Amino acid sequence: MIYGHKMKSKVEEITSRLNDLADERNKLGLLGVNVKAKTGSKGKNVQTSLIDKSTVLGREADADSLIAKLLEDEDLNRKVSVMSIVGLGGIGKTTLAKILYNDEKVMAHFELRVWVCVSDEFSVFNISNAIFQAVDGHNQDFASLDLLHVALKEKVANKRFLVVLDDIWNEDHSQWELLKSPFLVGSTGSKIIVTTRKNKVALVMDSAQPHMLKGLSDEIALSLFAYNALNEDNFDEYPSLKVIAKGIIKKCDGLPLALIALGRVLKIKGTNIDEWEELLNSEIWDIEDGGGILPALKLSYYDLPLHLKQLFAYCSFFFQKTTYSTRIN
């Protein structure tokens, strides 16, 4: 009888949870569908190394400092050195890395350049394979990590290379040691750039001096917001909106991703003061997420039409996968 009672309680708990999920689905306007997984298929993260520099504001000093370090061949006892860019989500780590990767002096300095977006899955084999395919220019199947690393080692031997590992979360030092083993034969001055939200990751990956990326200044943030909301460099022509904009950028705490997302939301709404004030005074800003980006993104999500909310929710079912892009000089 006791066992039966426990089972009944468990069933009731599961039923209650399913009902809650059904309510959430209805609130999102989602439809019930059957999704069949395709064995062996790989989703692709759309992140690439390409960038429109004209849309980037306030990172000139960061870029100049890091480019100078990239071009240095200072450590003769260490052929390959690691540089890390550390900061909150949405603060512009990837954007800064793209600026470095596409700088003309950097492109001329390195014989090989490879960009790998890693995200959640730190697979030594997948990352190594992405890098090999980038420098080799062809897809090739390897039966083991050892065979892959031997081939990769031959490709990078005595060459000065730049590898960007974007969005790293791995804190396992042994995995990093395994990943970097083929690169130790590179030419002096070779660099690996790591972007991460966690300072511990930078330390695990032997980054000597992590570059801590800060939020944008109020002046730059206001300009970035104006560009995305009004296609203007400032709010000189819209003094009534400027006061509201200052309140919004203060809540965004200098995070470029938040400023861009909300600027684009208001761009659709035009210069209606009521719409701008509604966004500024939204209760969503009271959400505490430890990073400051979640409320801003939720505001942009809630502004989407119903069919796009459905698409957004559908995309959440898919995990991020390792992708790469490269240019070889």
pLDDT at 107 over 90: yes
> Among 33-42, 191-200, 226-235, 265-274, where is mean pLDDT lowest?
33-42
**Contact between 171 and 122 (Cβ < 8 Å):** no
Task: Report, as an integer, the average pLDDT of 286-294.
Answer: 54
Question: For 201-219, what is the mean pLDDT?
Answer: 89
- CA dist 115 → 209, 238, 261 (Å): 21, 41, 25
**CA distance linking residue 235 with residue 254, whole number of Å:** 17
Q: Which DSSP category does 187 fall into?
A: P
Q: Helices 60-70 & 93-101, crossing angle to 10 degrees? A: 50
3-class SS string, 86-150: ECCCCCCHHHHHHHHHCCHHHHHHCCEEEEEEEECCCCHHHHHHHHHHHHHCCCCCCCCHHHHHH
> If you average pLDDT over residues 282-305, what whole number do you get?
58
Average pLDDT over residues 81-87: 93
Q: What's the mean pLDDT when you consider all of the chain? A: 79
Sign of CA dihedral 45, 51, 57, 61: positive
Mean pLDDT of all residues in 174-199: 92
Helix (H, G, I), strand (E, B) or coil at 251: helix
Residues 252, 289: contact at Cβ < 8 Å? no
Contact at 8 Å (CB) between 67 and 103? yes
17-41 pLDDT, tens digit per residue, is 666 666 655 554 444 433 333 323 3
d(CA 22, CA 13): 14
Confidence of residue 57 (pLDDT cuts 50, 70, 90): confident
256-278 tens-digit pLDDT: 988 988 898 889 888 989 989 98
Alpha helices in 218-270 (DSSP H): 218-230, 239-252, 256-269
Strand partners, 162: 113, 191
What is the Rg, in whole angstroms, of the alpha carbon atoms belonging to the chain?
24
Interacting residues of 293 by C-beta distance below 8 A, sequence separation 6+: 88, 89, 90, 255, 257, 258
Cα–Cα dist 274/296, whole Å: 18
Cα(93)–Cα(95) distance, rounded to whole angstroms?
5
With a cut of 50, say whether residue 156 has pLDDT above it.
yes
Between 238 and 325, residue with greater pLDDT:
238
pLDDT at 48: 72
CA atoms within 13 A on the CB side of 38: 4
pLDDT of amino acid 130: 92
Which pTM was predicted? 0.72
Q: Which two tokens mark 128? A: 């190594």
